[in-house]
Structure 1
């Protein structure tokens, strides 16, 4: 094989070795309609995702409902991720109760839903101090500084969650290094 042909063959195959961007898609379509009671859904597409749905209910003279969620990530990720999260159709519509949905696409995302209900004669403090998320995400990008990060999209249909009653907690993200939390606390004193 002559040198010219070898050089042409190398240039033609260079695109074969180029790494294409990662594509992460999380999709919920028409799921969970007419749910009843306590429902928790965690859906993740990608790498290094942390998700939690925590529920605590306490009834009694000195009852105290508590939740404790601790999420820690120390990661190095490539920001060239194409990520899409979507909730489509009649998903989670016409339900009744407590619903927690965490949906993420991408890398190194943290999501938490916490619910505390206490029925007691004693007072109880209500704050977010029991929720801790720590996310140290370093972007590993050896591309030129003008290179664009990946495409990110979050979508929820206008029919999703319609007609539902109760407590609905939703975290939905697409991308890299997102942190989201929902807390709901109720104390009823006798």
Structure 2
């Protein structure tokens, strides 16, 4: 009798040893409406996501605002991941200012938003070093070459972001190994 109970207990607890599946759905619904000023949002679902919102403002004689973002990712990922990213409702509508939104679902995605503003009397050069990213993603798939990648979907409501003013930066991705970036550099001299 005790052996039977032990065997039943083992089968009942087997599910506790199994890893739960990763949920690869990122959703924003009705958030950030009527924002004012500087707002940065990073949302990720899945594994090994890198996201950044960087802002730099400099005022003065030799003003020089700089940003530098370095993201490095070395991973082995199965490309058959199902992933979905969505921004619904009136999210981020009727706002004013600088908005940076990074939303990703899946695995090994990199996203960055960078803004730099300089107000000064000396001219300065603008170069490509505002945003520098490195991405090394290894996708290993031992399945036949005709295997299908996972299901990917991006959705944005037609009411999201409406009526907003200022700088709006949006990176939205679903899947594996995506790399997206927005960069804005403004220089004002007297």
TM-score interval for Structure 1 and Structure 2 normalised by the shorter chain? 0.7 to 0.9
The alignment of Structure 1 onto Structure 2 pairs a total of residues equal to 172
| Structure 1 position 36 matched with structure 2 position 27 | no
How far apart, in 2, do the equivalents of 1:44 and 1:23 lie? Answer: 10
List runs of 5+ in structure 1 lacking aligned partners: 1-18
Deviations 1:5-56 (A, max 9, x none): xxxxxxxxxxxxxx99855000000000000000000000011111000000
Structure having the larger proportion of residues in strand: 1
Which residues of 2 match residues 126-137 of structure 1 at below 5 A? Answer: 126-137=126-137
How far apart, in 1, do the equivalents of 2:138 and 2:77 lie? Answer: 6
Shift >6 Å, 4+ stretches: none
TM-score (norm 2): 0.87
Deviations 1:135-175 (A, max 9, x none): 11111222222211100011101000000000000000001
Which residues of 2 match residues 55-134 of structure 1 at below 5 A? Answer: 55-134=55-134
TM-score (norm 1): 0.87
How far apart, in 2, do the equivalents of 1:125 and 1:172 lie? Answer: 30
Which residue matches 1:165?
A: 165
List runs of 5+ in structure 2 lacking aligned partners: 1-18
RMSD: 1.6
Which residue matches 2:185?
A: 185
How far apart, in 2, do the equivalents of 1:146 and 1:102 lie? Answer: 32
Change (3 A) 1:91 1:163: same
Residues 23 and 45 in structure 2, CA contact (< 8 A), matched pair in contact too: no
